[in-house]
Amino acid sequence: MRLFFSFGFLFLSAQSLFAQDTAVQKPFILENDILTHKRIVFQRIQQQYLTNENQYVLDLKIDTSYLIFTRNDKNKFEYTASYYADEEGKKAFNKLSDIEKIPFILKFNTQGKITQLVNWKLFRDEFMKGISNQVRANLMTATDFEFNKTRLNNEAVIRRMAMDDVGYIFSLNGDTFREDIEYLRMKAVRSPFNSQDLQILGSLKISRPPGTLNTLLFKAQNKASKPEKIELLQQCKDYMAANNSEKVFQTEITAVGLNSEQEYSYNSAQKRMLWIKFSDVISINLQARGNIRDFKLYDFE
């Protein structure tokens, strides 16, 4: 049985940062000039791959699209964002999920961080269709349905689930950092097996490439530890059993891992994120399925 997972929804969450003491350095606030532009275009290159236990690539798909933000003429803090096949936003991109096909109407705060998904109820209704289908297919109990129905009637929950990478593009805006500190970060990660959150501890490091004056690199990683791996293993077994209605033979699942990384390239003189990379990998019995998304600031006006 071949297993497919969508990783986009896994990685949108609030962040908690704790610092480890090192040599004192002057803190700085990460500024972003997004609200000074009426139109912002990111090029997204997405790579999805499958490898076997020997790291041999069994499947590879690469797609390019453009994420375009357009400011509301009546409210400079509100933007509409959609994916397109071209940088001008004239051609539809056909390789989108039902969720991604809905335009995001987003509200920002003065520091350039997203605070609200204005049209969140449209996304809620799509998620409700999904869990209703699971109930009809006997993949979800009535009790779990009622729990998820209540959970999904919340803008903050839907924003995290629906926006995939969009929220993380702007997630560092307005935060205070020091270059000489490694930060610990607890991140809520949605399980690909039952959509419930796993709290995974990770780190965020800041570096300055040699010879550069204004470039800062941010690299964050959240990797499932032993307790999360045990929980993921059981969830995977339950998922496989629920989807094996014909009772065909399946390879025993002995190990499951989950790893999420985010990288940012920031120019402090221009006050812009020039490049962002998200990499998410789930492994089952050493077979890995990965989803890498590169966002490059392509154009703005």
pLDDT digits (tens, 9 = 90+) for 139-151: 778 888 898 899 8
Mean pLDDT, the chain, rounded, equals 89
Least confident of 9-23, 61-75, 112-126, 227-241: 9-23
pLDDT at 179: 94
Q: How many CA atoms lie within 13 A of 49 on its CB side?
A: 15
pLDDT at 6: 40
pLDDT tens readout for residues 247-291: 777 889 999 999 999 999 999 999 999 999 999 999 999 999 999
Least confident of 21-25, 64-68, 122-126, 130-134: 21-25
What 153-158 contacts at long range (C-beta under 8 Å, 24+ apart), as own/partner pairs, is 153/124, 155/116, 155/117, 155/120, 158/117, 158/120, 158/121, 158/123, 158/124, 158/127
**Cβ proximity of 39 and 70 under 8 Å:** yes
Q: Distance (Å, rounded) from C-alpha 11 to C-alpha 165?
A: 7
**Residue 182: band (very low, low, confident or very high) from pLDDT cuts 50, 70, 90:** very high
pLDDT at 24: 61
Residue type for 133, please? N
Q: Please give the C-alpha separations between residue 37 and each of 14, 72, 103, 269, in angstroms, as whole numbers.
A: 26, 11, 19, 16
Least confident of 162-166, 174-178, 260-264: 162-166
